[in-house]
Amino acid sequence: MKRMFSISELIENACKKCGIDYKSKHKDKVINDAVRLGKLIMDLKIIAGEIEEIADRHEIEGLKGILHKEAFRIDEIDHELIRLSQRLRRK
């Protein structure tokens, strides 16, 4: 994916130099996908919180431990998405 994004960027820059108004559809898809993934991550965090509330209410300890591990992994993904969106904004 990095290579295609670089090719799209090269094409955009070459067109810009020639005065051609061109916008990469691939770049737009990447940005839209990053935004969608961000929303999905937020939904997952909300769902995990609700499941944790139910686990607390019914004293389901095993489930709570699993949720804590997975919440950490979701946070890692969230941080990666933030880095991706920052990199896309700079370009």
The pLDDT tens digits for 12-35 are 888 889 998 887 777 778 778 878
Quote the strand ranges of 1-91, DSSP E. none
Higher pLDDT, 7 or 39: 39
**Is-contact 85 34, C-beta < 8 A?**
yes
- Closest C-alpha among 48, 30, 38, 39 to residue 79: 38
pTM: 0.58
For residue 86, pLDDT over 60 is answered with yes
Burial class (CB in 10 A: 0-12, 13-18, 19+), 8: buried
